[in-house]
Amino acid sequence: MIVPEATATLPDDAALPGLAVLHDRKRRIDLLSPLLADWLGASYQLVECEVSLLSYLPARRIVVLLDLVVTVGGTAEHRSVVAKLYAADQDPAAVHATVQALQQHGFGSGSVCVPRSIGIDARNRMLLAERAPGDVLRQLLVEGRTGPAAIQRAADWLLGLHTCGLGTGRVYTFERHLYTL
């Protein structure tokens, strides 16, 4: 289920252990502060974190946007990251390794890149990643906002993925891509 950004509340789902942390502001900040320390920099302090639901597959995965307020030298700044929380049968460390491998195989920058992983919390089955700019292709398709340029960018991305030489991660066939969309 794709959810319009910042419109839905977080569900309760016992299959996703990290959700309990996201529901509690203090626990959320306590968990995220050390995970984000390298990405933010040593002089930054996380003081607030709001959560917005982006997508949810019951008992499998939830993706949320974390709107952060950080301070440095008394000045507040706003940042955003994405958190993906997984069920027990999915390993966020494996996702992290696949993202790193993709970045080393040509998807680290440019118009066909994947967002960089920022941190992992194995206990809560959480992966943190930079927020990618732009719209999600699936949402563009659902809303009928795709033109030839968007379709061409998607085709370029898929061509790059299938020709980059990466031998790990989930294997997609054409039929699986269509199913995913």
Residue 175 lies in a domain: no
The enclosing domain of 70 has a CATH number of 3.30.200
Residue 161 lies in a domain: no
The reported pTM is 0.80
Stretch (H or E) spanning 39? helix 25-40
Mark residue 110 as left, alpha or beta (left: phi above 0; alpha: psi -120 to 50; beta: remaining): left
The pLDDT score that the predictor gives to residue 8 is 57
Residue 46 lies in a domain: yes
Residue 171 lies in a domain: no
Decide if 63 contacts 54 (C-beta within 8 A): yes
Question: Taking the alpha carbons of 52, 58, 63, 68 in that order, is the dihedral positive or negative?
Answer: positive
The pLDDT score that the predictor gives to residue 142 is 79
How many angstroms from the chain centroid is the CA of residue 86? 11
β strands within 58-154, DSSP E:
61-72, 75-86, 117-121, 126-130
Residue 148 lies in a domain: no
- pLDDT, tens digit only, all 181 positions of the chain: 444 444 458 999 999 999 999 999 999 999 999 999 999 998 999 999 999 999 999 999 999 999 999 999 889 999 999 999 999 888 898 888 888 888 888 888 877 778 899 999 999 999 999 998 777 777 777 788 777 887 888 888 888 888 887 776 666 676 776 776 6
For 8, which DSSP code? S
Residue 30's domain spans which residues?
Answer: 1-133
The pLDDT score that the predictor gives to residue 170 is 65
How many structural domains compose the chain?
Answer: 1
Coil, strand or helix: which one is 141?
helix
Cα separation, 79 vs 70, in Å, equals 7
Question: What residues contact residue 68 under an 8 Å CB cut-off, 6+ apart?
Answer: 32, 36, 46, 48, 49, 78, 79, 80, 81
Residue 124 lies in a domain: yes
Residue 170 lies in a domain: no
